[in-house]
Structure 1
Amino acid sequence: MQLFLRKAHLFQKASLRMSMLTLVLVLLNTTLSLGQSGDPLEVATLDKVVEYALAHQPNVQQALIDEEITDKAIKGKLADWYPQVNFTYNYQRFIDLQASVIGGNVIRFGVNNTSSAQFSASQAVFNRDVLLASSTASQVRSQAGLNTSRSKIDVVVNVTKAFYDALAMMQQIEVSEESIVRLERSLKDAQSRYNSGVSDKTDYKRATILLTNAKASLKTNQELLKYKQEYLKTLMGYPLDQNLPVQYDPLLMEEEIMLDTTQQVNYADHIDFQIMQSQKSLQEANVNYSRWAFLPSVSLFGNYNLNYQNNNFSDLYNTTYPFSFVGVTLGLPLLQGGKRLVKIQEANLSNGRLDLGLKNLKSAINTEYTRALASYKSNLGLYQAQKDNVELAEEVYDIIQLQYQSGVKTYLEVTIAESDLRTTRINYYNALYMVLASKMDVLKALGQINY
């Protein structure tokens, strides 16, 4: 007995160790899976950011799940075309047998124990529900895929714009930092000139005010950058506690601003038009479905039954009384109060409503393209003007700075030139990213962003 208890105790300890080991392995696997799904980017270029967003953005993931759900639902509907086989078992114990009076005598019928086992099979030959499922399966799958594509396109456009917005703020911070360096150097020059008696303290104090304002502006932009980076992470599905090392090349981006503005809208390329066309096709299938209500439904069936009867339960299953049959069922509704005609009219009206929706969508797409193209052209003109202004502002600042040091210009003119240079550079980078963002709107309106 002691030996048995000792073995049982050892077995229990071994089982506990195996359970703990299994739990550790499961937790480790889960941790690794989570880590792989949210690995931070080493270099966050635009292509990497978009690629990451397409793989991790919740809206895209939901669209992919919806696509899988649609596929499973279609398979469930198509399963009705296959033979349906069922099994039914029944047992009954009669407390009192059925009685009937015959010739003045009470006669009881039946036995105390009855049981049956039934195998039934059916096969749909024609049924408008399964016919609709089989005829529209590919179209429903296509529509689910189009919805996923639209989610991806929206993510790509929004993430790209947010990326450009964050870059614009980073450039403003860089411009502010360079401006602070120049202002600190200018402050030292003004202080030296004041100490040497060349100028009064007005220049020194004005330089101090400008430097303080520049530092405050830098602090504001740094805080705004934090928000813009968090917003970009949210759109990407990126871990909020991880750093996003954004990398960019302004010169390379300047090469990407050009766009053929002579292109015409092809409605068939736009994702929203494709989705509505898919809805139109499915609605036409619904019209046919309503018409099929006048057709009969046909199915085949067969049953095989095993019956058992005996007064003694112990002998119930000793003797079997089988019987079987096959047949065909034809169902044809003859009169439904005009319901089928009303359903056909309703389906046709819905079909006509979609025609009007397609017409309205064409106008909306054309308006969207016109607005996006106008925004692109205006931003492009602004960008080209600001690009020229940057060179002029740098040249003006250098000249006035030299003239101030030579005593020809006042410090007020230096501050004006410094302000013009900072504003012009900020406007230049803002215009660059605005034209890139508006280019995305044009490409979206043309239906040239495909995923």
Structure 2
Amino acid sequence: MNLLTCMRPILLGLLLYPTLLLAQQNRNTGAQPLTLQDCISFALTNEPNVKQAAIDEAIGDREIAANLSGWLPQISAQFAATHNIQRPVFVINDNVNRVGQNYTSNILLQAEQTLFSNNLLLASRAARYTRLQLDQNTIDNKIETVVQVSKAFYDILLTQEQQRILDENIARQEKQYNDARSRFEVGLVDKTDYQRASISLSNSRSDRKRTQESIKAKTALLKQLMGYAVEADLTITSDYEQMELEALLDTTQQLNVATRIEFQQLQTQKQFLKLNTSFYKWNFIPNVSAFINYNPQFFSNNLGDLYNQKIPTSAVGLQAAIPIFQGTQRLQNLKIARLQEERLEVDEENIRKIINTEYQTALANYKSEFTDWLTLRDNAAVAEEVYNIIKLQYDEGVKAYVDLVVAETDLKSAQLNYYNALFRVLASKLDYQRAIGNININQ
């Protein structure tokens, strides 16, 4: 047995050890909860639209290279072989004479270098704007990804918080149900108290089940938006105090439409149209190129002797293709290009108005949602205080059970409304940041 055979198991073990160790660590620790920044960073790499935009950029680079390859020398080869079944004739007086050979062949080798071409000049000037357009498309997809992932993340967290509230409410109601039933059994109250408690408890359990199922659906949506594996577990975490701080926003910022990616994309499109107009304006300039060729020719009356003798020819020179008259096609295309520029000016003015409307709407919605959130936060604190007082009064026999049920219902509604309002204000903040062009994609 040679040394390589003996060492093979050891080498295999060394190669597999890091993988086995990592797998063991994953089994021991489990999936780590992801913060919002973790989710956004993952999505900016793995979200399908973002990945497709990156591929589009790579495709665009190849297309630019293909379009600009016309500036490089173009080398071609051409082969031909002919059997002249009836050779050409010429007549002198009454004599008919055939010319040429029965078999001919030639090989044409030619190199051509473009010196000036309006088409290639357009491709050269458009290359930077093509790359810019592709980059802006990627940015647009990333902005949408950040907004949608953030909203889905907040939605799950706040739904989980709603579930926590329902769990606490169910725990209280189970105790109240047991207390009410015990009081009925000893004859202190009639059975309507524990029947009401039973109804409230059943409704709360139904609400909790609906919330649990809702979290599953919302988690699936977040996975989709992130480009996360469907079969992988996804847990998220966040500090609710931090979320409340994130709800705050400086609303004194002035709108600058130039920061919106949609406006930037329109400006890039305007550059393309200007180049197109310039192309048709100067399309009468000739295309100029230099060439050199080598053309060996072969002639014989016998096929077997065709390539025994070579008669070469070669040439070098300049050539120019001049469009003299194209039936007004160039002029019509030039007018079309100018009209397209005019149309884009209308689009630009319209998008300014659209962006301003989005900004004003987002600002108004944020201010409204923020006010509602502050109000509902105060209401939740008051509802909790009222419930605690009425609970004490009920335990002492001062208040009826129906008062406790009402207070508890008000507390649950106030708490759920508060977290719904927090989600709405966070979502409206994202809409405002997008409207003002202030979404951070550099995670």
TM-score w.r.t. the length of structure 2 is 0.90
1:309 Cα deviation from its structure 2 partner: 1.6
In structure 2, the residue matched to 1:296 is: 286
Partner of residue 181 from structure 1, selected from 163, 171, 179: 171
Counterparts of 1:175-324 in structure 2, within 5 Å, are 175-324=165-314
Which residue identity lines up with residue 300 of structure 1 in the other structure?
A
Task: Give the Cα–Cα distance (whole angstroms) in 2 for the partners of residues 450 and 382 of structure 1.
Answer: 27
Q: CA deviation at 1:364?
A: 0.6
Amino acid at match of 1:225: I
- Is it true that 1:376 corresponds to 2:366 in the alignment? yes
Letter in structure 2 aligned against 1:42: Q
Count of equivalent residues: 412
- Corresponding residue for 2:429? 439
Matches within 5 A, 1:55-94: 55-94=45-84
TM superposition shift of 1:113? 2.3
Report SS of the residue matched to 2:76: strand
* Separation in structure 2 between the aligned mates of residue 231 and residue 220 of structure 1, nearest angstrom: 17
Q: Which runs of 4+ in 1 moved over 6 A?
A: none
Tell me the percent identity: 43
Among 119, 122, 130, the alignment partner of 1:140 is 130
- Decide whether aligned partners of structure 1 residues 450 and 312 sit closer, same or farther in structure 2, where only a CA change above 3 A counts: farther
Distance 1:226 1:410 in 2: 39
Q: Relative to structure 1, is the Cα distance of residues 265 and 301 closer, same or farther in structure 2, using a 3 angstrom cutoff? A: same
**Matching residue within 334, 343, 365 for 2:324:** 334
Shift of 1:50: 1.2
Q: How does 1:91-102 map to 2 (within 5 A)?
A: 91-102=81-92
Tell me what 2:98 maps to: 108
Whichever residue aligns with residue 340 of structure 1, its letter is R
Kept in 2, the 8 Å contact 1:149–1:450? The answer is no
Identify the residue that residue 4 of structure 1 maps to in structure 2: none
Q: Is the 1:90–1:117 contact (alpha carbons within 8 Å) kept by the matching residues of 2?
A: yes
2:205 and 2:93 mapped to 1: Cα distance? 117
2:197 is matched by which residue type in structure 1? A
| Cα deviation digits, residues 2-61 of structure 1 (max 9, x gap) | xxxxxxxxxxxxxxxxxxxxxxxxxxxxxxxxxxxxxx9632221111112121111111
Q: Check if 1:385 corresponds to 2:338.
A: no
- Which residue of 1 is the match for residue 143 of structure 2? 153
Task: Render the CA deviation track for 1:162-215: whole Å, top value 9, x for unaligned.
Answer: 111222221211111111001001111111211222111111110011001101
2:356 to 352, 366, 372: 366
CA distance in 1, matches of 2:415, 2:241: 15
Query: Shift of residue 101 of structure 1?
Result: 3.9
User: Matched residues in 2 for 1:49 and 1:369: separation?
Assistant: 27
Unaligned runs of 5+ in 1: 1-39
Residues 252-302 of structure 1: CA distance to partner in whole angstroms, max 9, x if unpaired? 211211111000111111000000000011111111011011222222222
Letter in 1 for 2:402: L
1:417-446 CA-to-partner distances (Å, cap 9, x unmatched) read 111111111111111121111111111111
Task: Determine helix, strand or coil for the equivalent of 1:449.
Answer: coil
In the alignment, the residues of structure 1 paired with residue 298 and residue 168 of structure 2 have an alpha-carbon distance, to the nearest angstrom, of 98
1:47 is paired with a residue whose SS is: helix
Q: How does 1:423-434 map to 2 (within 5 A)?
A: 423-434=413-424
* C-alpha distance in structure 2 between counterparts of 1:185 and 1:367, whole Å: 53
Counterpart secondary structure, 1:75? helix
Distance 1:410 1:53 in 2: 54
Distance 1:329 1:226, change over 3 A: same
* Distance verdict in 2 for CA 1:329–1:41, change over 3 Å: farther
> Could you tell me how far 1:137 is from its partner in structure 2?
0.7
Q: Which amino acid aligns with 2:176?
A: S
Please tell me the root mean square deviation across aligned C-alpha atoms, in Å: 1.6
Deviation at 1:400, TM superposition (A): 0.7
Partner Cα distance (2:327, 2:76) in 1: 35
CA distance in 2, matches of 1:393, 1:167: 23
Q: Is the 8 A contact 1:172 1:426 kept in 2?
A: yes
Whole-Å separation in 2 of the counterparts to 1:369 and 1:264:
10
For the pair 1:121 / 2:134, whether they are aligned, the reply is: no
1:394 equivalenced with 2:381 (yes/no): no
TM-score, structure 1 as length reference: 0.88
Deviates more, 1:91-100 or 1:224-233: 91-100
2:410 counterpart letter in structure 1: D
CA distance in 2, matches of 1:314, 1:406: 124
CA drift at 1:414: 0.5
Name stretches of at least 5 consecutive residues in structure 2 with no aligned partner: 1-29
- 1:168 and 2:158 correspond: yes
**Residues of 2 paired with 1:219 and 1:384: CA distance?**
29
Query: Alignment partner for residue 348 of structure 1, among 335, 338, 344?
Result: 338
1:131-173 Cα shifts (integer Å, max 9, x gaps) = 0001111011101110111011111111111111222221211
Please, which moves more after superposition, 118-127 or 310-319? 310-319
Contact 1:187–1:207 (CA<8 Å) still a contact in 2? yes
